[in-house]
Amino acid sequence: MGYAPYMDEKVYRMAVRQLRNVARILGLEDEVVEALMHPERLIQVKIPVKMDDGSIRVFLGWRSQHNSALGPYKGGVRYHPEVTVGEVVALSMWMTWKNALAGLPYGGGKGGVRVNPKALSRRELEELSRGYFRAIARFVGSDIDIPAPDVYTDPQVMAWFLDEYSKIVGYDDWGVVTAKPYLLGGLKTRITSTGYGVALVAREAAKKVLGGFEGKTVAIQGFGNVGRWAMYYAIEWGAKVIAVSDSKGGIYNPDGLNFNRLVEVKEKTRSVINYPEGRKISNRELLELDVDILIPAAIENVITEENADRIKAKIISEGANGPVTPEADIILKEKGVVDIPDILANAGGVIMSWIEWCHNKMGCWLKDEDALKRLDEKMSMNFDTVYSEWTSKYSDEPMRTAAYAIAVSRVVKAMKLRGWI
Ligand code: GLU
């Protein structure tokens, strides 16, 4: 078997463990696992940026193109001071499963730049973004690999990516990135779509296991694009959000938090902890609160064998990618927690990306309500498919196993049809 340095990284090993687990259940040969455990192509780039003070700093970035059996690679790009190559590879593998499970015509990819974007000026951030995209430009395109936002990247970064790419190829390939600003071929509904889907599957699960969603208590870790909009829709559909956090800590109020006020506080003071009516709590405490529904929507590896036993929520909807480790999966299953896996729960973003990409390809637009309706139908259908597969075939396993079984089988079938394995 080949060796690559990322194989020593914890998060990558977690992704491979999940793959091996489902391969065993599906009876897949070792050679299939080997074919799936490495990306088809892994690009590392060096991005020199001229800083505002005149100095030059060099940043490292990656794009991992994991699998293209079902179509062009698709997945976000994250900017994070601790991102590593192993994390990017793991995330690209998760995109392969997510896109296959969602029934999209895409393979999986992911990118990352090791940088703290909060410490850059707007001009430095633009130069970094253009530099990254220039460096990967020959490997992307609307029919090759289609990046999008992820942790700490947004529509403005996508606009710079698109513009840089257009200059290189000499025309606007609108579908080369998704989650673009509205004026540049994006959809107004893209920004809310991941959170919408995360809340939607929590709602559907609550109907099945808690007798309904209304009045149920919710705690959300993370107040970025995902956590924020999950909160909005959870409230819209009648639940009570009693705790929210960001990287600085959390805020708790058993009577419920107000969405608009929280957004205002976050915008003005940069953290939800300054929300006046509530008690400050740590991110750790938030995860262990006595709530009906827990939404980890920040980063990976937050529910582990160390704290899984103390989780009191009855339902978890994974807004982040990889928030629950395989050891924690088993503990949660034993405790009877219904954990809706990331590849199902947070697929709303990439599903809306696909709708945007279809528009870009056709050159004509659906109305916003129609785009949201389409997302709603697809998410609900995907949830039902996974839930019934889980309860009928894999009820001794976490729900993740059912989601993985469907996704991995589709990818393997496509690889066999193409004659790759
Ligand atoms: N970064 C998001 C994810 O992890 C969205 C990817 C996309 O829209 O391509 O699913």
**141 bridge partner residues:** 145
Ligand 1 site, residue 103, Cβ cutoff 6 A: no
Residue ranges making up the domain that contains 322: 192-340
132 lies in the same domain as 212: no
50 lies in the same domain as 156: yes
Residues 6+ apart with CB under 8 A from 233: 192, 195, 196, 199, 200
CB 217 within 8 A of CB 240: yes
Select from 66, 194, 342 the residue to mutate for testing ligand 1; criterion: most ligand atoms less than 8 Å from CB. 194
Q: Which of 124, 139, 173 is a domain's end point?
A: 173
211 lies in the same domain as 117: no
Q: Measure 321 CA to ligand 1 centroid, in angstroms.
A: 10
Report the catalytic residues. 110
421, part of any domain: no
| Atom in ligand 1 nearest the alpha carbon of residue 147 | 9
CB 128 within 8 A of CB 51: no
Select from 353, 356, 378, 379 the residue to mutate for testing ligand 1; criterion: most ligand atoms less than 8 Å from CB. 353
pLDDT at 6: 96
| Atom in ligand 1 nearest the alpha carbon of residue 77 | 1
Kindly write down the DSSP assignment for every residue of 379-408, as one continuous string. HHHHHHHHHHHHHHH-TTS-HHHHHHHHHH
- Residue 2's pLDDT band (boundaries 50, 70, 90)? confident
Ligand 1 site, residue 319, Cβ cutoff 6 A: no
pLDDT at 365: 81
404, part of any domain: no
What are the pLDDT digits (tens) for 87-98? 999 999 999 999
Q: Of 7-16, 234-243, 296-305, 357-366, which gets the smallest average pLDDT?
A: 357-366
147 lies in the same domain as 228: no
- b/e per residue, 82-115, with b = 16+ CB within 10 A? ebbbbbbbbbbbbbbbbbbbbbbebbbbbbbbbb
Total domains present in the chain = 2
Collapsing DSSP to helix, strand or coil, 247 comes out as coil
Provide the mean pLDDT of the chain.
Answer: 97
Q: Above 70 in pLDDT, residue 296?
A: yes
What are the pLDDT digits (tens) for 47-81? 999 999 999 999 999 999 999 999 999 999 999 99
pLDDT at 367: 84
216 lies in the same domain as 246: yes
What are the pLDDT digits (tens) for 306-321? 999 999 999 999 999 9
Ligand 1 site, residue 76, Cβ cutoff 6 A: yes
State the pTM of this model: 0.97
The CATH number that applies at residue 263 is: 3.40.50.720
274, part of any domain: yes
- Residue 1's pLDDT band (boundaries 50, 70, 90)? low
Candidates 80, 140, 151; CA nearest to 109 is 140
| Atom in ligand 1 nearest the alpha carbon of residue 74 | 9
Q: Which of 315, 340, 365 is a domain's end point?
A: 340
Q: Above 70 in pLDDT, residue 136?
A: yes
What are the pLDDT digits (tens) for 159-178? 999 999 999 999 999 999 99
Ligand 1 site, residue 349, Cβ cutoff 6 A: yes
Q: Measure 1 CA to ligand 1 centroid, in angstroms.
A: 30
Q: Which of 340, 361, 381 is a domain's end point?
A: 340
Q: Measure 98 CA to ligand 1 centroid, in angstroms.
A: 9
158 lies in the same domain as 203: no
145 lies in the same domain as 278: no
151 lies in the same domain as 247: no
pLDDT at 21: 95
